[in-house]
Structure 1
């Protein structure tokens, strides 16, 4: 019991990050706009954690997530036709090549820069997961149902990376996020009304 108390005292920030992230993603699966508020809080907390663990691409990602969360909050409320609430839709095919290009270019550039100029751990793995997450978060802000497929992919990668970095609580979080992403995909797919 004493070891658990010691662990919780040493890892309170990670525990708070886990809690706020779960609240955020659960609300997102329900298409509740307050998920964006919790996304901002969780991103701020995890930005600090990733800096402490030298996962710089993930740290940078949290700053971008805060900006995308503000954008997503607005989009969900006013991004629909005539400034109405945005509805779930499919990713238009015109975005396939740009999304793949962003993934490849970001991974190569960020992985190289962090690998050469910082003491980053796992620079290419971290950068590729960051790129997938950026694309997925943008897709979520636009309510494209395929965002959940990217989150499923990213969550699988993150589970392994965080376990390797001994962030066991965060690894468990990403197992839960994987489950929520599967639920989110099923929920959003069943409510999809708009076709692009």
Structure 2
């Protein structure tokens, strides 16, 4: 199966594109589209997507991104549970803004993860882009956690990560994945607008007539 996934499917921009990258492209788009719509099926589709991307990144030598997919599987399963039962009295979650305390902890986690991964990748692996790989990994983890809690600002974090991901994947000749992340950025903007609209509707509904 791994050999088939790493086999060439199509040629994009003069570079052979594997089946893993093609299937990752399709499941990635579906995953984020479902996430924008707050559809619970985004989580199982997302788990499938990250398993495919694990194969892609391993073959490209993006080791932090490869390891990140393992964490994404755990976060995907947690997000699936949290959206269903993570609210008050085990009810489903609703969209909300990030508190100051949450921002503090998310910032600390992002800085520590970036620094630790950078040192690890630079000194102990053959990564050719240790800082960019570490930064995008850390921001992606923080953003994914935010989305497991339905924090509206998590979309901004994904947009910031995509700004780095797009040229990074182009540099690695993962052109189909780079195009996927351009689409991801557009969907992130749509997700930000959609979740903001949901948040406004929730606030309006909470105001007494």
Q: Does the aligned pair in 1 maintain the 2:82–2:149 contact within 8 Å? A: yes
Q: Residue 94 of structure 2: which of 81, 87, 102 is its match? A: 87
CA distance in 1, matches of 2:131, 2:29: 26
1:26 has 2:30 as partner? no
TM-score (norm 1): 0.94
1:35 has 2:42 as partner? yes
Structure (1 or 2) with the larger CA radius of gyration: 2
SS of the residue 2:94 aligns to:
coil
CA distance in 1, matches of 2:84, 2:27: 21
- Structure 1 portions without partners, runs of 5+: none
| Equivalent residue, structure 1, for 2:56 | 49
Q: Does the aligned pair in 1 maintain the 2:110–2:139 contact within 8 Å? A: yes
1:148 has 2:155 as partner? yes
1:126-179 per-residue CA deviation (whole Å, 9 max, x = no partner) reads 101110000000000000000100011111110010011110000000000000
Residue correspondence of structure 1 range 152-163 to structure 2 within 5 A? 152-163=159-170
1:98 has 2:105 as partner? yes
The range that moved more, 105-114 or 166-175, is: 105-114
Corresponding pairs, count: 192
* Deviation, structure 1 residue 13: 1.4
SS of the residue 1:63 aligns to:
helix
Distance 1:6 1:174, change over 3 A: closer
| Equivalent residue, structure 1, for 2:11 | 7
Name the structure where strand makes up a greater proportion of residues: 2
TM-score (norm 2): 0.88
